[in-house]
Each structure stands twice: as C-alpha cells, then as structure tokens.
Amino acid sequence: MLAYAKTRGQRLDAAGRRAAKNRTLWGDALRRLLKNKLAIIAFIWIAFMVIVALTGRTWVPWVFGDVIFPNSTLAASLSRLPPSLAHPFGTDELGRDVFGRLVYGAQTSLSVGVLATLISTTIGLVLGSLAAYFGGLLDAVIMRVTDMFMAIPYTLFTIALLAVLGPGWVNIFLAIGLLGWTPVCRVVRSAILQVKENDYVSAARALGASNQRIILRHILPNTMASVVVYSTMSIGTAILSEAALSFLGLGIQPPEPSWGLMISEGQTNLAIAPWLVFCPGAAILLTVLAFVLLGDGLRDALDVKGTD
C-alpha cells in the first residue's frame, strides 16, 4: 500500500512538472483574464458590437428599411415615433429608425477607434523604442518633441487640424491618430528602459546581434504587455474623441450616421424625444466602458506579479 501511494505521488509530481514546463506567460495571462468577470463581460460586449458593425449594413435595410434616405412620404408619417416593437429605439425627426442608425454608427465609431489607435500606437512604439534603446541626443530630441505635443491642448489641436484637413471619416481618424501618440511613446520608452539592461539583451549584444534584431526579437516582445493594455484603453478614448468632434460638426457629416452626430441632431428635441440623445449616448458609454474594463482586466492578467 505504501509502495502504491509512493508511486502515485511520483506520477503526480511528474505530471505537475510537465504542466509547469508547458505553461507560458501568455497562457497564464489568459487563465487570469478568464477569471475576471467584468473583463469577460466587456469582451463579450465588444465582440457583439464588432459583429453588429460588420454585418449591420447587410441586415439593417432588410429589417428597418433605408435608415439613411427614407422615402419622404413614409418618413413624414414616422417622424419622432417613441420606442416600440417595430422601432425598438424609436425614430428621429426625419422618420429614420434610431436603432438602424446606431448599428451604422457602430461601424463608423469602431473603425475610427481602431484605426486611430493603430496609427498612434505605431508612431509611439517606433519613437519610444528608438529613444529608449539608443538614448543620448536622439532620446533628448524625441522626448522634447513629445513634451511639446503634450503641452498643446489635445482637443484644440485636433479641431485646428480638422479645420485644415476638413471634416470626414478619413481625416478624423488621421487627426486623432497623429496627435495621440505621445502617451504611447512614454509608456514604451519607460518599459524598454527597464528591459534593455537585462542579461539576455547583453548576451545578444555580445553575440553580435544587430540593433534591429535585439529590438524586434528581445526587447519589444517583453514590453508588449504595456502596449496592449494601453492600446485597448486608447480605442475607447478615440471613440469618445470621434463622438465629441462629430457632435461639434467637425467629424462625420450627415447623412452618414455617427453616435456623436446623432446626439448633436437629437439635442434640439431632447424635451419631447429624449430617446434621440439617450440611445446614442448609452451606446458610447457602454462601448467606451467596455474597452476600459477590458484594458483593466488585461493589465491585471499580464501582471507577472499576479497570483493564481
């Protein structure tokens, strides 16, 4: 009996060692993320919004008709209808279905958020990596340029840039992306400064690895956790910026739907048709909150000091 127990214990120890050997940083992070209920709920909401945005222009016209250019005779009879089974979120003053326009606006808002974040993250990643790895004069120049951009009010700078470029879908994500790289640059620089003096980087340098290989193969993969977390939260910030600019008339132009533009158009009828403001406002709130909660969950999951 004792021999059997000893053999079984050895087998369990061997299995535990094999399991520990097969564990990776990203695998452990995924397991911790799955335990975070708020992050999972946020991910489900974001996935739902992405599916709706990608497929909306296919099924919305079939269900709700033309929510962009409705027939004038039909629109007059549907003007400002309250929420009902036929129109879950009601209709606006032109007879357009609010739910259908929210679906169309989701595609615009998510596209702007993702593309703007991709641009800002790429610029910040490149400049932050160069500044931290090479240091010296290059680091000083990049950081002073970063300080100069951060000293300029972000919203005013974006408005000024859009005043030059003109409103529109392309210009708005370019403006947000080109002006939002400074926090990413500082985050990347700080992370690389902590990593570049590690032994494996010194060993790679001693073996004759090029600067490009050291940065791409040894430094950036060990700093991507911070970039992933910040970029996830930045998507929500970019969506909020697009909504604010569209509300001011500098972003998406009518009749193309946008959540911020829908709030701007509905504010004049707030007293008699509050759903025109509440529905797009709730969409912005829930989507931005979902990205913040997901980013917060990713931060906790990727924390190497976290415990299971």
pLDDT at residue 2, rounded to an integer: 46
Nearest to 114 by CA among 241, 250, 284, 231: 231
Tokens representing residue 6 in the block: 């000893």
- The answer, yes or no, to whether residue 302 has pLDDT greater than 60, is yes
Range scoring the smallest mean pLDDT among 9-23, 68-82, 106-120: 9-23
- Residue type for 69, please? F
Read off the DSSP letter of residue 82. P
Tokens representing residue 203 in the block: 């060993």
User: How many other C-beta atoms lie within 10 A of the C-beta of residue 233?
Assistant: 21
CA 5 to chain centre: 53
Domain count across the chain = 1
In a domain, 212, yes or no: yes
Range scoring the smallest mean pLDDT among 46-60, 72-86, 163-177, 181-195: 72-86
Nearest to 232 by CA among 144, 114, 149: 114
CA 306 to chain centre: 24
In a domain, 264, yes or no: yes
Range of the domain at 234: 24-65+100-301
- The answer, yes or no, to whether residue 205 has pLDDT greater than 80, is no
Q: How confident is the model at residue 287 (pLDDT cuts 50, 70, 90)?
A: very high
Q: How confident is the model at residue 72 (pLDDT cuts 50, 70, 90)?
A: low
In a domain, 84, yes or no: no
Read off the DSSP letter of residue 268. G
pLDDT at residue 179, rounded to an integer: 85
Are the beta carbons of 172 and 252 closer than 8 angstroms?
Answer: yes
Among 165-179, 203-217, 288-302, top mean pLDDT goes to: 288-302
Are the beta carbons of 211 and 133 closer than 8 angstroms?
Answer: yes
User: How many other C-beta atoms lie within 10 A of the C-beta of residue 82?
Assistant: 12
- How far apart are alpha carbons 40 and 50 in whole angstroms? 15
In a domain, 278, yes or no: yes
In a domain, 44, yes or no: yes
Among 53-62, 98-107, 190-199, top mean pLDDT goes to: 98-107
pLDDT at residue 168, rounded to an integer: 78
Omega prior to 255 cis, within 30 of 0: yes
The whole-number average pLDDT for the span 209-218 is: 79
User: Over pLDDT 90: what percentage of the chain?
Assistant: 19
In a 3-state reduction of DSSP, which class is residue 257? coil
Mean residue pLDDT of the chain comes to 82
Omega prior to 280 cis, within 30 of 0: no
In a domain, 229, yes or no: yes
In a domain, 191, yes or no: yes
Does 75 or 85 have the greater pLDDT score? 85
- The answer, yes or no, to whether residue 5 has pLDDT greater than 50, is no
User: Over pLDDT 70: what percentage of the chain?
Assistant: 87
pLDDT at residue 19, rounded to an integer: 46
Which residue shows structure tokens 């958020």?
113
- The answer, yes or no, to whether residue 8 has pLDDT greater than 70, is no
- Residue type for 155, please? T
Are the beta carbons of 198 and 84 closer than 8 angstroms?
Answer: no
Range scoring the smallest mean pLDDT among 39-48, 71-80, 140-149, 164-173: 71-80
- How far apart are alpha carbons 162 and 152 in whole angstroms? 15
In a domain, 77, yes or no: no
CATH number of the domain enclosing 179: 1.10.3720.10
Does 207 or 307 have the greater pLDDT score? 207
pTM greater than the 0.85 cutoff: no
